[in-house]
Structure 1
Amino acid sequence: MTERPSSDAEHKQRRRPRRSADQNRAEILRAATTEFAMHGFAGGRITRIVKKAGTNPRMIYELFGSKSNLYVATLENALSALRTEELTLEVMHLDPLEGLLKLFDFMNGHFERNGHLVSLLRTENLMKARFMKKSARIHEMSSPVLSMTERLLKRGVAEGKLTADVDPLRLYVMIAALSQFHLANVHTLSAMFERNLAEAKWRAARREDARKMLAAYLQRK
Structure 2
Amino acid sequence: MPRKTTSTAKAEPTPAPSTRRQQLAAKTRDRMLKIAIREFADKGYSGARVETIASRSKVNIRMIYHYFGGKEKLYVEVLEHVLARLREAELAVTLDEQRVDPAAGILQLYDFTEGHFSKHPELLCLLSWENLNRARYLKLSRVIPAMSSPVLDKLRTLIRRGETAGTLRKGIDPLHLYVTLVSLAYFHKSNAYTLSRMFDTDMLAPSWQAAHKNQAHELVRTFLKKGSIRELAFSN
Normalising by structure 2, report the TM-score: 0.85
In the alignment, the residues of structure 2 paired with residue 177 and residue 102 of structure 1 have an alpha-carbon distance, to the nearest angstrom, of: 15
User: Of residues 10, 17, 25 in structure 2, which corresponds to 1:21?
Assistant: 25
Partner of 2:73: 69
User: Of residues 3, 16, 36 in structure 2, which corresponds to 1:32?
Assistant: 36
Report the secondary structure of 2:166's partner residue. Answer: coil
**CA deviation vs aligned residue, 1:105-125 (integer Å, no higher than 9, x gap):** 000000011000000000000
**CA deviation vs aligned residue, 1:117-162 (integer Å, no higher than 9, x gap):** 0000000000000011111111111110111111111111011010
In the alignment, the residues of structure 2 paired with residue 92 and residue 74 of structure 1 have an alpha-carbon distance, to the nearest angstrom, of: 30
Q: What is the CA RMSD across the aligned residues, in angstroms?
A: 1.2
Q: Does 1:178 align with 2:184?
A: yes
Report the secondary structure of 2:143's partner residue. Answer: helix
Partner of 1:210: 216
TM-superposed deviation, 1:173: 0.3
Please say which of residues 52-61 and 174-183 is displaced more in the overlay. 52-61
Structure 1 unmatched ranges of 5 or more: 1-16
In the alignment, the residues of structure 2 paired with residue 149 and residue 25 of structure 1 have an alpha-carbon distance, to the nearest angstrom, of: 35
Structure 2 unmatched ranges of 5 or more: 1-19, 228-236
TM-superposed deviation, 1:30: 0.3
User: Of residues 148, 151, 157 in structure 1, which corresponds to 2:154?
Assistant: 148
User: Of residues 198, 202, 225 in structure 2, which corresponds to 1:196?
Assistant: 202
Partner of 2:172: 166
Partner of 1:50: 54
Structure number with greater Rg is 2
Partner of 1:9: none
TM-superposed deviation, 1:88: 0.7
Q: Does 1:125 align with 2:131?
A: yes
Report the secondary structure of 1:157's partner residue. Answer: helix
TM-superposed deviation, 1:20: 2.3
**CA deviation vs aligned residue, 1:175-214 (integer Å, no higher than 9, x gap):** 0100110111111100000000010000000001001100
Q: Which amino acid aligns with 2:193?
A: H
Partner of 2:84: 80
In the alignment, the residues of structure 2 paired with residue 153 and residue 24 of structure 1 have an alpha-carbon distance, to the nearest angstrom, of: 44
TM-superposed deviation, 1:163: 0.9
Partner of 1:116: 122
Superposed structure 1 runs of 4+ greater than 4 Å apart? none
In the alignment, the residues of structure 2 paired with residue 146 and residue 214 of structure 1 have an alpha-carbon distance, to the nearest angstrom, of: 17
TM-superposed deviation, 1:25: 1.7
In the alignment, the residues of structure 2 paired with residue 112 and residue 175 of structure 1 have an alpha-carbon distance, to the nearest angstrom, of: 15
In the alignment, the residues of structure 2 paired with residue 213 and residue 51 of structure 1 have an alpha-carbon distance, to the nearest angstrom, of: 47
Q: Which amino acid aligns with 1:152?
A: L
In the alignment, the residues of structure 1 paired with residue 83 and residue 53 of structure 2 have an alpha-carbon distance, to the nearest angstrom, of: 20
In the alignment, the residues of structure 2 paired with residue 163 and residue 25 of structure 1 have an alpha-carbon distance, to the nearest angstrom, of: 49
Report the secondary structure of 1:189's partner residue. Answer: helix
In the alignment, the residues of structure 2 paired with residue 142 and residue 210 of structure 1 have an alpha-carbon distance, to the nearest angstrom, of: 22
Report the secondary structure of 1:130's partner residue. Answer: coil
Report the secondary structure of 2:136's partner residue. Answer: coil
Partner of 1:12: none
Q: Does 1:102 align with 2:117?
A: no
Partner of 1:8: none
Sequence identity of aligned pairs in percent?
40
